[in-house]
Structure 1
Amino acid sequence: MLRVAPRTRTAPAAGSVLSDEPLPGRWLVFGVVGLALLLGSIDQTSVATALPTMQSDLGGSLGWIGWTITIYSVGQIVALPIAGRLSDQFGRRTVFLTAVAVFTATSLLAGLAGNIAFLIAVRAVQGIAAGAIMPAATGIVAERFGRNRDRAIGLFTSIFPIGAIVGPVVGGVLVTYTSWRAIFFVNLPLGVIIVLGGLFLIGRDGARRVQASAIDFGGIGLLTLVLVAGMTTITALGGSGDPLVRWGLVGGAAAVTAIAVWRFLHHARVDENAVVPMRLLRGKVFGPLNIINVMFGAAALGFSTLVPLYAEQRYGLGPLVAGSLLSVRAIAMIATSSLSVALLRTVGTRRLMLIGYAGMAVGTGLLAVPPPGAMSAELWLSITAGIAGLGMGTAAPSSNNASMHLAKQEISAIAGLRAMFRQSGGIAGISMTTAIISLAANPGVAQGYAFLGFAALLLIALPVIFRLPDHRGSW
């Protein structure tokens, strides 16, 4: 398999990434890193409000329009394992600033897209850039905050809801009063500010220089093929047109998916440097954690992507009102995420995850139920979205820290794998739901059943959480 040979760098004697002493200027660095996470959060939630408008403008079925979100997630999955290792090898600052610059440039290209094929291609590259930001950012913050790294990383979950509040509102306003293209253009000034701030505030001596393992491009390629072929299979199932062509595409894509899955699992079993080695797929700790992350991704990312579409299709709400439902969820997340961070060391990760996942399941399941009595659809959807947000705010900080203490020397790589499995779950959930909607006589009701499926996944995750080590204290 194709791979890049490892290179050795000398670790600095002082200011090590694992030093317990917090470094000066850490909050300014956190501000720059946090703004980058905010940029990605705004992009993800604002695009979700524009799917019907993009379909009307660019043409194509809802399944293919949905690729503007799922291919973005594929790009993130491709980048996450690479960025984690490159961050440890070449320096988090370099990887972080390069990723933000590429993300900003592709935002401009996405806003100028003239057809759905070009937009999907640009979104794939943009997803790669977005995927590289999180592992590098996690390493930068862990290095700067020393013994308080667990709380600082937990605070990441307070940044995403801010973008989730701003993104849907900004997206709804722009779609309603201007164009869906402005959703991408709004990223440009933020990207410039982040790059300039990072150049001046994130010092070069903060980069970690260590022995880095080979990058498994062969394994990453197989994983990408699994995801793209699987997405194609699901999208073609929900497509229209000549039945012979459609079923031919379904059969071919399904065959490629099956072969790619077999090759990927074989590669994971025999290659000790595989991007996802078999020991991380079926280990006593990381195996259950990966399962939980897939379920979390399917429910959480599926929720944030599909709720605006659900509100528009089932209840006839406009883009601005539909997008504001994500803002309600985000406000609820902020209300509980800071409390969850404060309780991490005393309550432990397991209990907070159990409470949070149960709350997410209740909110997501109630979303599928029609408003009771004379209650308006807006109020009912806001209540259910808020319940889901309270659960997610409780679960996210503990989920982000779960089992991190077992591999402190590979924080960036572990963070990348965690996000990779979450994005995989999101891709599967979104792809299957959009395919079902495309075939359904009543898309709104069909999507309600999909939300019940997401709630069931979260409930299934509860017994799996008990298999994770319950960590208390700092790490």
Structure 2
Amino acid sequence: MTVRKNEKLIILAVALGTILNPLNTTMITVALPSIQKDFQLSSTDISWLIASYFIISAIFTPLIGKLSDIYGRKLLLLIGLVLVVVSSILAPLSPNMPVLLAMRGIQAVGTSALFPAGVGVIRNTIQHNQNRVIGTLAVFATTSAAFGPTIGGMLIQFGGWPVIFYVNLPILAIAIGLTILFIPKDRKNTCTSYKLDILGIILFSLFITTWMVFLLGLEKGVQIGVLMIAFILTVIFYIFEKRQSEPFINVNFFRKNLNVALIFGQYILSTVIFFAVLLSFPTFIQSVLGASSQMAGIVMLSLSIFAMIMTPLATRWIERKGYRIPLLISVLLGFMGVVLLFTVKDNAALVWIGLVLAVTGVSNGIQNIGLQNLLYTFIRVSESGIASGLLMTSRFIGNILASSIYGVAFASGMNVGNMSIMAIVLVVVAVVMVPGMLYVTKHEKKSRKNMV
């Protein structure tokens, strides 16, 4: 009865934790020019600052999901919140890049705990409308990501880049208080035995990091040795995980259906375009166009807010027309958006920049919700948990690839010429998405029929 009475406060506690990962992911994009200047960093260094966050998140999100099942959701939620507190206090005091990188790593571990542990809390304590509540958490996450650059841009005006870490503290104070007071104590799990795939985790970490090293090294040429190591580690990881009864990443899930694997691939490519644009434009607006961080944050809102607005609109559109037409139009809009990047010059009006970003935002908004919903038409209800985890991993991989593109394209500095180099890469990505989208939407009616 007490839990039912405190449901809204429990949901609020989880929601406040859930927003921290996407908020800190996008808020830092506006701070990159200041961080780069203060620590004399290259674009490659900045890429590692961003990508390391996603590599750690990709490793710890599924890991902590399983650990929370073993040791308790409330405990892991509190540990995650405390880690973010520590990093948010110490990161602004970083004297150099390695310390800042370490603090961001601690923050990534902490925020990685909050979503899986939080969803576990919801499933254990909220007895009705669980799917609606979890959907609301997704809206919280999307909203915080949308407003991240704007919040960061406005705060930097008053206290420089360190302020983007301090903004977490009031959110954390409320979340910790609500968690301690209102989330029920964990029940000891004695019914199920668990096995952590330690070697799988190590192999995943190694092959993701090695691919990152290879991609960031492309600016100096193709490193054959690193490429071979990355490829071998990937194959070893796949073979090893395929044979595990409780794998870290369920690779067998992809083998069941080519459509499922392609949807994850499309989601990765869609994320690459969106995050590469999100990552590069705050710096371009400040360094090339000479605008303030506050103005950069306002202009960047065009990208994220249109992506957010399109989510409910695309849902209704898909319900009426099916998946094929909306998703194909989204791909064409995505192609148009990256082609428009070639029109961005050093004398471009901020209004025009906003319009260019809006096109990419609309495209991503349709693809984000469309691909997620299309995925669930191809899988059984019992596989939803696996699919959700892999979808989140796909998003992290897309973010890592986008960080690599940023590092290579802007290795010699932020300018119009290098923006065109990034645009060329993204045009290729957009073109590759067209046949993939044609294929995955070709069988949508058949898949729906089979799922009934």
* TM-score category (smaller protein): 0.7 to 0.9
**Are 2:259 and 1:304 aligned?**
no
Q: Distance in 2 between matches of 1:24 and 1:366?
A: 52
Which position in structure 2 is the counterpart of 1:19?
A: none
Instruction: Kindly provide the CA deviation profile for residues 308-328 of structure 1, in whole angstroms up to 9, marking residues without a partner as x.
Output: 134345544433222323322
Which position in structure 2 is the counterpart of 1:465?
A: 440
Which position in structure 1 is the counterpart of 2:245?
A: 272
Q: How big is the shift at 1:168? A: 1.3
Which position in structure 1 is the counterpart of 2:360?
A: 388
The residue type equivalent to 2:423 in the other structure is G
Q: How big is the shift at 1:106? A: 1.6
Aligned-partner SS, 1:238:
helix
Query: Compared with structure 1, are the counterparts of its residues 115 and 459 closer, same or farther at alpha carbon in structure 2 (3 Å cutoff)?
Result: farther
The residue type equivalent to 2:237 in the other structure is F
Aligned 1:341-352 pairs, distance under 5 A: none
Aligned 1:450-461 pairs, distance under 5 A: 450-461=425-436
**For the aligned residues, what is the CA RMSD?**
3.6
Q: Distance in 2 between matches of 1:36 and 1:404?
A: 26
User: For the Cα contact (< 8 Å) 1:294–1:422, is it kept in 2?
Assistant: yes
Query: Compared with structure 1, are the counterparts of its residues 309 and 122 closer, same or farther at alpha carbon in structure 2 (3 Å cutoff)?
Result: same
Q: How big is the shift at 1:215? A: 1.7
Which position in structure 1 is the counterpart of 2:57?
A: 76
Which position in structure 2 is the counterpart of 1:179?
A: 160
Instruction: Kindly provide the CA deviation profile for residues 346-399 of structure 1, in whole angstroms up to 9, marking residues without a partner as x.
Output: 77667665555554444344344348xxx9521112112223323333343444
Aligned length: 444
Q: Distance in 1 between matches of 2:317 and 2:21?
A: 27
The residue type equivalent to 2:115 in the other structure is M
Aligned 1:59-70 pairs, distance under 5 A: 59-70=40-51
Q: How big is the shift at 1:197? A: 1.4
Which position in structure 1 is the counterpart of 2:395?
A: 422
**Are 2:31 and 1:31 aligned?**
no
Greater share of helix residues, 1 or 2? 2
TM-score, reference length from structure 1 = 0.81
User: For the Cα contact (< 8 Å) 2:21–2:111, is it kept in 1?
Assistant: yes
Which position in structure 1 is the counterpart of 2:350?
A: 378
Determine which of 67, 91, 115 is the counterpart of 2:72.
Answer: 91
Instruction: Kindly provide the CA deviation profile for residues 76-129 of structure 1, in whole angstroms up to 9, marking residues without a partner as x.
Output: 011122122223344333323322221222222222211112222222232222
Aligned-partner SS, 2:246:
coil
Aligned 1:243-282 pairs, distance under 5 A: 250=223, 252-282=225-255
Q: Distance in 1 between matches of 2:447 and 2:328?
A: 11
Aligned 1:317-332 pairs, distance under 5 A: 317-332=291-306
Aligned-partner SS, 2:343:
coil
Aligned 1:360-379 pairs, distance under 5 A: 360-370=334-344, 377-379=349-351
Q: Distance in 2 between matches of 1:340 and 1:208?
A: 41
Which position in structure 1 is the counterpart of 2:265?
A: 291
Instruction: Kindly provide the CA deviation profile for residues 266-325 of structure 1, in whole angstroms up to 9, marking residues without a partner as x.
Output: 212333332223312332054223222322332233232222134345544433222323
The residue type equivalent to 2:203 in the other structure is L
Deviates most, 359-368 or 55-64: 359-368
TM-score, reference length from structure 2 = 0.84
Q: How big is the shift at 1:59? A: 1.8
The residue type equivalent to 1:447 in the other structure is M
Identity over aligned residues, as a percent?
A: 21
Query: Compared with structure 1, are the counterparts of its residues 344 and 197 closer, same or farther at alpha carbon in structure 2 (3 Å cutoff)?
Result: farther
User: For the Cα contact (< 8 Å) 2:262–2:440, is it kept in 1?
Assistant: yes
Which position in structure 2 is the counterpart of 1:6?
A: none
User: For the Cα contact (< 8 Å) 1:87–1:95, is it kept in 2?
Assistant: yes
Q: Distance in 2 between matches of 1:197 and 1:87?
A: 19
The residue type equivalent to 1:422 in the other structure is R
Query: Compared with structure 1, are the counterparts of its residues 102 and 470 closer, same or farther at alpha carbon in structure 2 (3 Å cutoff)?
Result: farther
Determine which of 310, 315, 319 is the counterpart of 1:336.
Answer: 310
User: For the Cα contact (< 8 Å) 1:314–1:443, is it kept in 2?
Assistant: no
Q: How big is the shift at 1:26? A: 4.0
Aligned-partner SS, 2:235:
helix
Q: Distance in 1 between matches of 2:332 and 2:190?
A: 41
Aligned-partner SS, 1:155:
helix
Aligned-partner SS, 2:18:
helix
